[in-house]
Amino acid sequence: MRILYLVHQYLPRHRAGTEVYTHSLAKALAARHEVLVYCHEPAMDGGAAPAADDVLEGVPVRRVAAHNAGRAPATPWGRFRDAYRNPRIAAELAATLERFRPDILHIQHLKDLTVDAPAMARAAGIPVVYTLHD
């Protein structure tokens, strides 16, 4: 089975409950399945690279930049909206869904990604599991 995990940020730079949980789950399932963790990496925002791939303890990771710096309107609503509906992330995620072709999408956290992820997966015929954390 091919499992795609979506999480707002990931180890080793970001170490909190959601990140540790996601890594533990992905690492365990990687022993018998093909997994990919897809996350926003704040350190990449504002840089030239829109995405980077690496492997952490046997778990493949796709890290993406949100490039939200300076884009959000100067209102609390604008900043909140951009943290959950990012068109650049949606386009990059669509390409990842097409390339990786997961059998299931397991969402952990959508901050700085896109709330469109479940609808995108559904449109591609990919079942979605959502674990609520924060």
Domain ranges of the chain: 2-130
Stretch 69-94: mean pLDDT, rounded? Answer: 72
CATH class of 2-130: alpha beta
- Check residue 70 and give its pLDDT: 47
**Does residue 105 register a pLDDT over 90?**
yes
pTM score of the predicted model = 0.89
Helix (H) or strand (E) holding 85: none
The reported pLDDT for the residue numbered 68 is 55
